[in-house]
Amino acid sequence: MSERRLLLVNGPNLNLLGTREPEIYGSQTLADVERIVTDAAAAHGFEVRAVQSNHEGVLIDAIHEARLDCAGIVINPGGLTHTSVVLRDALSGVALPVAEVHISDVSKREAFRHHSYVADVAVVHVVGEGVPGYETAVVRLVDVITGQADG
Ligand code: CA2
């Protein structure tokens, strides 16, 4: 592990967190998510670089850049989870450990949300724990990263 930094990626529409659909996504905002992840990572000695975009290419560029200075990626790909081979290829291509997070329990929602293109390139999966699930993802990803470093 060369850097104690995580990349936090939030995909399309997650900038709307806390403004609509609180019955599905809760009332916390994207700023709350970024603070929770930053604090959880700091407790383990990691910095966080956060990106949210509604544009697939911006997310892919951020993932490619993480290869240079990050030890792992926490990602909620939003709806791209269910559609994007190119996002999956980017994650696979940088070969960093990935934690996939979903705020809602996608397995209990519409059938089109049941498949994730990201799932089998991620080593950590946290689904349906709400916004606190991001903290769970950080803790479990740091365990993977530090385990790799020690091993
Ligand atoms: O549960 C999740 O975290 C999702 O990744 C959220 C995506 C959805 O397409 C996935 O199936 C599951 C949607 C993100 C949109 O977030 C909004 C938040 C508030 C208001 C409107 C959208």
Do β-strands 47-52 and 5-10 pair in parallel, antiparallel, or remain unpaired?
parallel
Can 117 be counted among the known catalytic residues?
no
Q: Closest ligand 1 atom, CA of 76?
A: 5
150 belongs to a structural domain: no
| Cβ of 46 less than 6 Å from ligand 1 | no
Residue 149 has what pLDDT? Answer: 44
Ligand 1 centre distance from Cα of residue 78 (Å): 5
- For residue 131, being part of any structural domain is answered with yes
pLDDT in tens, 4-23: 999 999 999 999 999 999 99
Asked if residue 10 is part of any domain, the answer here is yes
- The predicted-structure confidence for 123-139, as pLDDT tens digits, reads as follows 999 999 999 999 999 99
> What pLDDT was estimated at residue 3?
85
In tens, the pLDDT along 52-71 reads 999 999 999 999 999 999 99
Please determine, for residue 151, whether its predicted confidence score (pLDDT) is greater than 80. no
109 pLDDT more than 90: yes
Residue 134 annotated among the catalytic residues of the structure: no
pTM (global) more than 0.75:
yes
**CB-CB neighbours of 95 under 10 Å:** 9
Residue 45 domain-assigned (yes or no)? yes
Q: Is the CB of 14 under 6 A from ligand 1?
A: yes
Count of C-beta atoms within a 10 Å radius of residue 8: 26
Of the residues 64, 82, 102, 114, which is catalytic?
102
User: Does the structure show a pLDDT above 60 at 2?
Assistant: no
Q: Is there a domain that residue 102 lies in?
A: yes
pLDDT at 148: 59
Q: What is the pLDDT of residues 69-81, one digit of tens each?
A: 999 999 999 999 9
- CATH number of domain containing 129: 3.40.50.9100
Helix (H) or strand (E) run with residue 9 in it: strand 5-10
3 lines ligand 1 (CB under 6 A): no
Q: Which domain holds residue 94?
A: 5-145
Residue 90 counted as domain residue: yes
- Any idea which residue has 């994007």 for tokens? 84
**Edge-to-edge strands, sheet with 124-127:** 47-52, 5-10, 72-76, 98-102, 124-127
- Looking at the domain assignment, is residue 43 inside a domain? yes
Residue 151 lies in a domain: no
CB of 128 closer than 6 angstroms to any ligand 1 atom: no
Q: Which long-range contacts (CB under 8 A, 24 or more apart) does 18-25 make?
A: 24/103, 24/104, 25/103, 25/104, 25/130, 25/131
> pLDDT tier at 150 (50, 70, 90 boundaries)?
very low
Specify the number of domains making up the chain.
1
Share the mean pLDDT of the chain.
96
